[in-house]
Structure 1
Amino acid sequence: MSASFLLVYILAFVSWDFALAHEPSPLQDFCVADFNSTVRVNGFACLDPKQVTADNFLFRGLNIPGNTSNPLGSFVNRPTVLEIPGLNTLGISTVRVDYAPGGVVPPHRHPRASEILTVVAGTVFVGFVTSHPENRLISKTLHEGDVFVFPFGLIHFQQNVGQGNAVTMAFLSSQNPGVIAIANTVFGSKPAINDQVLAKAFRVDKSIIHQLQAPHN
């Protein structure tokens, strides 16, 4: 096998691997999720098209402000395929976030999606952190009508930095993007991550780790 042919083969293999590294394209008009099916696939089995109605593609309520009376000062309304069965295989979902003044969506990541966010009302500071070894913060203060993109899988956050309430809407490239809240994951895992591991990783005393791992109301 010549070196040039081997290189083409490797590139083709890598390209094929990348081509499969996203949710598959639909092979029919729709595949409404059948939550009662015992078939286990990457997603949900398809409901019989004869049983499909318009309600399978409908979600009501994104116009309703969320309750931000909580320690974070934010409320996330995130309908996924579980709330909109018609999203199944379409590779997209949406989210509305309401923010009290100073409210935050803490650092988190979506393991299965990139995200595009627009500010509907207020002023919101957003940012994401690039991967190792640079770990560079890329951030911007957004105003009504501004749009910002969070790349696939990277840690990102939002904060209301205006005087009044704020609202953002976002769209994600997965029917079920998932969310990994960094602090909750690291300090709230069950069972807990060994305190020595965390103390070394964050370069703090174990007492600080114990404080962070303690339940908070």
Structure 2
Amino acid sequence: MKSVNFLLAFVLLALASSLASAYDPSPLQDFCVAVNDTNTAIFVNGKICKDPTLATPDDFTFSGLNIPTDTNNFLRFNSNLVTVDQFPGLNTLGVAIARVDYAPGGVNPPHIHPRGTELLLVVQGTIFAGFVDANNTLFSKILYPGDLIVFPLAMNHFQVNIGKTDGLAFASFNSQNPGVITLANTLFGTNPPIDPYALARALQLDVNVVKELQAKFRSSN
């Protein structure tokens, strides 16, 4: 009987170990529709690797984050996100970086990164930043040069330059392609548009206000 129990325990342990190690990799794209025809298929979760014997130092360096982005827009904010698409050496390494510029009053509107946690370092300015968790609790704080804030994976977050001078921050991500979904765009700037009556009911707005917002966001997109 003891030998039977030992064998059963061994089988269960082996099964648990195999399940623990056989998880799916985190996706690096918005979706992946299955196809049977390889002629219409694409490479998933990254890019095809270069022959390592052909790699050069240029593959592992990137220049340009010293250049301010143009904040002359409605939000008075802009960013330069460097992912594997701009920096091939990041492929398979699970990191990305962005320069974030804010004019006085500039707003990085509520958004999420579906595939990456963000660590934001304030270099210049006075930045009010925060995120909202799954319980709708807001975690926010005023940040000064040298301060850090982390936005957990897929949490809705934002930043506002509440100072009187330009703001600058650098954001790092634990994904080579963290993605970005700006919430206002996903509500009002979709193509085709979401039923305005559904949005009006969900947001408790007049339907004409929703239609006006949809017109604004579709034209800006």
How far apart are residue 22 of structure 1 and its match?
3.6
Task: Give me the whole-angstrom Cα distance separating, in 2, the residues matched to 1:140 and 1:10.
Answer: 46
1:122 aligns with 2:125: yes
Match of 1:109 in 2: 112
How is 1:30-179 mapped onto 2 (pairs within 5 angstroms)? 40-131=43-134, 134-179=135-180
What amino acid sits opposite 1:69 in the alignment? N
Deviation, 1:41, is 2.5
- Secondary structure of 1:44's counterpart equals coil
8 Å Cα contact 1:23/1:91 also seen in 2: no
Structure 2: distance between partners of 1:142 and 1:161: 10
Give 1:54 deviation, angstroms.
Answer: 1.4
- Please state which structure has a larger fraction of its residues in helix: 2
| Distance (whole Å) between structure 2 residues aligned to residue 191 and residue 183 of structure 1 | 15
Aligned-pair identity (%): 46
Secondary structure, counterpart of 2:208 in structure 1: helix
Structure-1 separation of matches of 2:119 and 2:213: 31
- Determine helix, strand or coil for the equivalent of 2:82: coil
TM-score (norm 1): 0.83
* Closer/same/farther in 2, CA of residues 205 and 68 from structure 1, 3 Å limit: same
1:197 is matched with 198
Bigger Rg, structure 1 or 2: 2
Task: Give, in whole Å, the separation in 1 of the partners of 2:102 and 2:80.
Answer: 12
How many positions carry a matched residue from both structures? 200
Q: Is the 8 A contact 1:74 1:98 kept in 2?
A: yes
**What's the offset of the Cα at 1:50?**
2.4
Q: Displaced runs of 4+ in structure 1, greater than 2 A?
A: 5-17, 19-24
Amino acid at match of 1:162: G
After superposition, give the CA deviation of every residue in 1:93-114 in whole Å (9 maximum; x if it has no partner).
0011011000010000001000
State how far apart, in whole Å, the 1-side matches of 2:137 and 2:43 are: 40
Structure 2 partner of 1:183: 184
2-side partners of 1:12 and 1:88: how far apart? Answer: 29
Residue identity in the other structure for 1:128:
F
Aligned twin of 1:27 = none
- Looking at structure 2, the residues matched to 14 and 200 of structure 1 have their Cα atoms a distance apart, in angstroms, of 44
- CA distance in structure 1 between the aligned counterparts of 2:187 and 2:12, rounded to whole angstroms: 41
Aligned-residue RMSD, C-alpha: 2.6
Note the residue ranges of structure 2 that are not aligned, 5 or more in a row.
29-40
